[in-house]
Amino acid sequence: MPKVKTNSSAKKRFKVTGTGEITYQKAFKRHILTKKSTKRKRALRNKGMISDANRPFVMRLLRLK
């Protein structure tokens, strides 16, 4: 029986917290930052949380369920 493999791209993008929530880094913070407002860039620093609708799909990619 072959091993069940975790999706490589998903394990790089998502992290499971101690309470079981799945976090990710928000997009649009890499380059061309001069035209983006300070408020917008500050909001992008915070981790994003996976919504309940996408949770089963991400859990399947990470082989948590």
C-beta of residue 64 within 8 angstroms of C-beta of residue 18: no
Q: By residue range, what is the domain housing residue 12?
A: 8-61
Indicate the pTM of the whole model: 0.84
Task: Express each pLDDT in 21-39 by its tens digit.
Answer: 999 999 999 999 999 999 9
Q: What are phi and psi of 48, to 5 degrees?
A: -95, 155
Query: Within 13 Å and on the Cβ side, how many CA atoms surround 11?
Result: 7
Kindly state whether residue 55 falls inside one of the protein's structural domains: yes
Instruction: Classify residue 3: in a domain, yes or no.
Output: no
Mean pLDDT of 48-57: 97
Q: Domain count for the chain, please give it.
A: 1
CATH of the domain at 25: 4.10.410.60
So what's the pLDDT on residue 65?
A: 80
